[in-house]
Amino acid sequence: MQEAITIEVRTPRLREPEPRVVVTLPTFRRPEHLRRTLQSLAVQATDRPFAVVVMENEAEAREGLAAARSLIEAATPRGLVLVAHARGNCSAYNAGWATALAEFPAMEHLLVIDDDEVAPPDWIARLVAAAEATGADLVGGPQLPDFETPSGARYRRHPVFTPHYDTTGPVPILYSSGNVLIRRRVLEAMGPPFLDTAFNFVGGGDSDFYTRCRAKGFRFAWCAEAPVYETVPARRTEFSWINARSLRNGSLSAMIEARSNPGPTARLRRLAKSAALLAASAPRGIALGWRTGSPVAGLYHLQVALGRFLGEFGKINEQYRRPEQN
């Protein structure tokens, strides 16, 4: 099903020169930070022509559209702003990726950054270089936390804030869409809708997409030298948020596994895996808490195991349904 899209702003002579790289940037009720993200893209040091597609997902107030308008019209950076009328992060991604394919026929690489992130000047260059060096179809990079409150730094080594990999090179799979490069051929092969909108308000649409990409034989890599810096508000350093995110990670893990391997036999295997993770959570948690110096981090493996059981019964926290609490 094609997402409802309206292109509202476009840089004059947008395809002169023809963009080879397109950065997609979903936004929802973060107009001030969106401007910071766009300003970091405007100063990218790359010899590859690129454009930005901003996906406004607040179809009523459209604060993101208003914040981006003057920058895009002035080509700082050049690109376009669309309104993705269907609410939800997967719907926003689908709108932006489909638009990038249709608007930029010379596009070779599609990149993704979120509206609470800032990219260093060599971000595009490093992701593209990693794709070319490894031959990978999808390349991820770290999302490093930038805590708004000094007290938040105590969670820097908590698993919900740490990258999945440490070293540049091929990896089995990726997990997040907040800092990623995707080759055009991947999008063309997967076809719209790219992300399943069943994940619109729970997250995990990116992980599900990567799982399906792996099943089609696409290859993954990691570029440790291409971080983005994610602003972490005080709300996300409260125990209630970290607990909800940790449980959700477990629930999504079970949900994605169930979609890949349905049936009663596969479910018994998942339940056995969840039980094994629960049994191992105490020693693993003690080790993690000792290594990070954080008792809260030490709870993570237990929370993930419990979340997997919740996911088996369809109980997944829709953290994105209530953005004021996310």
| 177 neighbors 92 (Cβ within 8 angstroms) | no
How far from 317 is each of 81, 174, 204, 281, CA to CA, in Å? Answer: 30, 22, 12, 21
- The pTM score is 0.95
215 shares a domain with 284: no
Q: How confident is the model at residue 325 (pLDDT cuts 50, 70, 90)?
A: low
Between 315 and 225, name the one with better pLDDT: 225
Together in a domain, 185 and 262 = no
Kindly report the number of other CB atoms within 10 A of residue 178's CB atom.
Answer: 18
Which residues face 56 on adjacent strands? 27, 83
What was the pLDDT predicted at 323? 63
DSSP secondary structure code for residue 141 in this structure: -
Asked if residues 305 and 271 have their Cβ atoms less than 8 Å apart, the reply is no
Higher pLDDT among residues 261 and 285, named by residue: 285
pLDDT of residue 151: 86
18 and 45, same domain (yes or no): yes
Give the domain-ending residue among 218, 235, 252: 235
With cut-offs at 50, 70 and 90, classify the pLDDT of residue 314.
confident
How many structural domains are present in the chain?
2
- Verify that 303 and 204 share a domain, yes or no: no
**pLDDT of 40-67, one tens digit each?**
999 999 999 999 999 999 999 999 999 9
Per-residue pLDDT, 261 = 86
Domain termination site, one of 174, 201, 235: 235
Tell me the residue ranges of DSSP E strands in 75-210: 79-84, 109-113, 117-118, 138-140, 143-147, 169-171, 179-183
1 has pLDDT over 50 = no
Decide which of 204, 235, 266 is a domain's last residue.
235
Whether residue 181 sits in one domain with residue 84 = yes
pLDDT value at residue 247: 93
135 and 259 together in one domain: no
Biggest CA-to-CA distance, the chain: 60
Residue written as tokens 């840089």?
11
Same domain, yes or no: 143 and 213: yes
Mean pLDDT of the chain: 94
Which CATH number does the domain housing residue 24 bear? 3.90.550.10
- At 326, is the pLDDT very low, low, confident or very high (cuts 50, 70, 90)? low
State whether 223 and 244 are in the same domain.
Answer: no
Residues 69, 213, single domain; the answer is yes
309/216 same-domain check: no
In this prediction, residue 162 carries a pLDDT of: 95
- Residues 66, 193, single domain; the answer is yes
Select the more confidently predicted residue: 222 or 264: 222
The DSSP letter of residue 18 is P
pLDDT of 312 reads 85
Domain, as residue range, for 91: 5-235
* Residue whose C-alpha is closest to residue 78's, from 102, 99, 53: 53
Rounded CA-CA distance 23/128 in Å is 12
Choice among 2-6, 25-29, 207-211 with the minimum mean pLDDT: 2-6
- 132-187: pLDDT as tens digits: 999 999 999 999 999 999 888 899 999 999 999 999 999 999 999 999 999 999 99
Under 8 Å CB-to-CB from 147, ≥6 apart: which residues? 153, 155, 156, 232, 237
201: three-class secondary structure by DSSP: coil
Residue 21 — very low, low, confident or very high, per pLDDT cuts 50/70/90?
Answer: very high
Plot region of 41 (φ>0 → left; ψ -120 to 50 → alpha; else → beta)? alpha
CA pair distance 243, 318, nearest whole angstrom: 13
Q: Collapse the DSSP code of 259 into the 3-class scheme (helix H, G, I; strand E, B; otherwise coil) and give the result.
A: helix
Same domain? 243 vs 211:
no
pLDDT higher than threshold 90 for residue 266: no
In whole angstroms, what is the distance from residue 32 CA to residue 36 CA?
7
